[in-house]
């Protein structure tokens, strides 16, 4: 008898929206197919395959792994969510009447797992293709009834005392977790911008005169960047605004901005174990459920090298890091301004609204094909990763900005130079696809069932994608009501016969209208309309 399990989720990519949130949950649905077929025989007719299904457990599990020379191999289990799909009593499955069929008999059992919304997205880091990964694992425990009912002189009956009656069948399906910075929308809108008040630090890189610190400290700088940057945008719009505050008019006339440079920097940090900050934010599994107490289900093969002690790295550091530029090789990132650019001359002129000197630039960046650096051998070839804060890997992005300023000394013959340096954090992440840009149905593989369907059959081959949970319910689980839609005006029923119609008075009309409004308002507090599990959440 041959028994196999196949997992068919409605979608192989689980989409999550917004920042990781431990208070949100998503729904992963699908079905498991149990296939049963009779063994081939050259000497007799193929017998009926019979099994007694005792348990069917489905587990969603996530893991994160890193490999570096300084910290070695490290792996953690992010989550483990299990659900028993079989009924409380054992069920007999058999292929009676279909023993000679080429295709096995199949039973479909549906599932719906709640998935926590704080999980980092699937991605690989380093040259060893390790990182964040997720999968569904199905385990069926059953008893082969053929061995129990075998003839006394058969080989199966002879070996049955030496074999375990309980058998196990397994199945696995990889799941990709994708995170989007925005919710699906009907059309693409301009992403909102974030403005930072910069505390620029001066740094002299020459042997000449430096601008006095009391003058530099009175230069205000504001930097505006998009709230999120999509990797396919290929560039980052940057706006710098500058002005002086409480600076003498004579000094304002001597300051000018000559140039500025911008670099897009990606910083990666790899940890040996999750930080205490990460553990306090997200409910990662305790040490009792982590390796080596409970090994990962699907660890990287290099894990065995560390388990048996063939390689012992230097554990002096708990983390290692690297950083590199995302600018194209032909892009210097330097922007020269016009001569005699004394932009702060009018800062002391009284006005109702202060004037700002504005610099705008579009900074290109590379998604791939970034030149290799010295850490490429262990961390992989540099490439753009989404901004992420994970248990073992952190990826951050900054705009490193340098503004060159000159100051004409009072003697009129010398000029002081200074560079104001600061960094502006930026966030890289995917924007949700537009509504209608892809099919609204997820097509499942076609399965031919030759046996009586299970009590939970798959009714349709196409299942619509449900709306985001936060669009239907608030954070407390109450159904959202669109109060912008007015209640319908009351009108007397026209179907009432004239003989039984009663002319309503003003008080009766008012009371009936009040009752009607109460009926509409009561929908908000109707807890029975709330689903047990959400589809998606932001």
Nearest of 492, 495, 482 to residue 516 by alpha carbon = 492
Report whether 25 contacts 16 (CB < 8 A). Answer: no
Task: Cis check for the bond before 249: say yes or no (omega within 30 of 0).
Answer: no
Q: Copy the structure tokens of residue 242.
A: 């500058």
Nearest of 278, 267, 274 to residue 318 by alpha carbon = 274
Q: Tell me the pLDDT of the chain (538 aa) as tens digits.
A: 788 999 999 988 999 998 999 888 999 999 999 999 887 766 667 788 888 999 999 999 999 998 887 777 889 999 999 999 988 888 899 888 887 788 889 999 999 999 999 999 999 887 667 899 999 999 999 998 876 554 454 455 455 554 557 899 999 999 999 999 888 877 777 888 999 998 877 766 555 688 888 888 899 999 999 999 988 888 999 999 999 988 999 999 999 999 999 999 999 999 988 988 999 999 999 999 998 899 999 988 877 776 665 566 555 567 888 899 999 888 888 999 988 889 998 888 887 788 899 999 999 998 876 665 666 666 777 889 999 999 999 999 999 999 999 999 888 788 888 999 999 999 999 888 877 654 333 333 333 333 333 333 333 334 445 566 666 777 676 777 777 777 777 777 765 454 444 444 444 444 434 443 433 333 334 443 333 333 333 3
Report whether 378 contacts 251 (CB < 8 A). Answer: no
φ, ψ for residue 272, nearest 5 deg: -80, -30
Residue 237: the pLDDT is 94
Residue 354: the pLDDT is 80
Dmax over CA atoms of the chain, in Å, equals 115
DSSP 268-311: EEEESS--HHHHHHS-PPPGGGSTTTS--SS--TTHHHHHTTS-
Q: Which domains does the chain have, with CATH numbers?
A: 2-180+435-465 (2.60.40.640), 193-272+317-426 (2.60.40), 467-538 (no CATH)
Helices then strands, counting H and E runs in the chain, come out as 9, 23
Using CA atoms, how far residue 7 sits from 136, 413, 455, in Å, is: 8, 80, 18
CA distance 380 to 443: 36
- Tell me how far the alpha carbon of residue 495 is from its chain's centroid: 55
């Amino acid at each position: 008898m041959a028994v196999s399990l196949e997992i068919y989720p409605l979608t192989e990519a689980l989409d999550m929206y917004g920042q990781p949130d431990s208070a949100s949950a998503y729904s992963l649905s699908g079905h498991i197919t149990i296939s049963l077929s009779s063994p081939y025989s050259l000497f007799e007719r193929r017998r009926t395959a019979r099994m007694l299904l005792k348990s069917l457990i489905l587990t969603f599990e996530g893991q994160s792994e890193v490999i570096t020379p300084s910290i070695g191999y490290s792996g953690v289990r992010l989550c483990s969510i299990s659900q028993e799909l079989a009924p409380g009593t054992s069920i007999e499955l058999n292929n009676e009447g279909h023993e000679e069929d080429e295709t096995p008999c199949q039973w479909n059992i549906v599932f719906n797992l709640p998935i926590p919304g704080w999980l980092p997205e699937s991605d690989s880091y380093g040259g060893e293709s390790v990182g964040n990964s997720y999968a569904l694992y199905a385990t069926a425990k059953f008893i082969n009834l053929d061995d129990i009912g075998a003839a006394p002189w058969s080989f199966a009956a002879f070996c049955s005392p030496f074999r375990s009656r309980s058998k196990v069948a397994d199945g696995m399906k990889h799941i990709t977790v994708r995170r989007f910075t925005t919710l699906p929308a009907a059309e693409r809108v301009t992403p909102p911008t974030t403005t930072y008040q910069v505390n620029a630090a001066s740094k002299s890189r020459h042997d000449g005169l430096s601008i006095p610190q009391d003058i530099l400290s009175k230069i205000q700088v504001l930097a505006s960047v998009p709230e999120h940057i999509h990797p396919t945008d290929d560039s980052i719009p940057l706006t710098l605004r500058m002005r002086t505050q409480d600076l003498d008019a004579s000094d304002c006339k001597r300051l000018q901005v000559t140039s500025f440079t911008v670099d897009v920097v990606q910083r990666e940090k790899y940890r040996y174990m999750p930080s205490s900050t990460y553990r306090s934010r997200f409910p990662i599994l305790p040490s009792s459920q982590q390796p080596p107490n409970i090994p990962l289900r699907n660890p990287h093969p290099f894990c065995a090298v560390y388990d048996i002690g063939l390689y012992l790295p230097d554990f002096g550091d708990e983390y290692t890091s690297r950083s590199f530029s995302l600018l194209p090789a032909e892009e210097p990132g330097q922007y020269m301004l016009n001569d005699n650019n004394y932009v702060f001359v009018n800062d002391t002129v009284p006005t109702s609204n202060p004037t700002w000197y504005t610099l705008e630039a579009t900074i290109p960046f590379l998604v791939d094909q970034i030149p290799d650096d010295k850490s490429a051998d262990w961390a992989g070839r540099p490439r753009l990763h989404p901004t992420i804060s994970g248990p073992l890997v952190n990826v951050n992005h900054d705009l490193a900005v340098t503004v060159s300023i000159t100051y004409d000394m009072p003697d009129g013959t010398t000029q002081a130079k200074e560079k104001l340096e600061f960094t502006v954090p930026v966030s890289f992440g995917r924007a949700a696809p537009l509504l209608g840009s892809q099919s609204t149905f997820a097509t499942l593989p076609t399965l031919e069932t030759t046996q009586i369907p299970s009590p939970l059959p798959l009714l349709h081959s196409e299942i619509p994608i449900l709306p985001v949970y936060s669009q239907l319910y608030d954070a407390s689980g109450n159904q959202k009501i669109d109060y912008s839609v007015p209640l319908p005006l009351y009108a007397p029923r026209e179907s009432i016969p004239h003989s039984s119609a009663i002319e309503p008075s003003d008080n009766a009309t008012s009371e009936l209208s009040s009752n009607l409004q109460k009926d509409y308002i009561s929908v908000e507090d109707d807890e029975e309309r709330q689903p047990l599990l959400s589809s998606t959440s932001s």
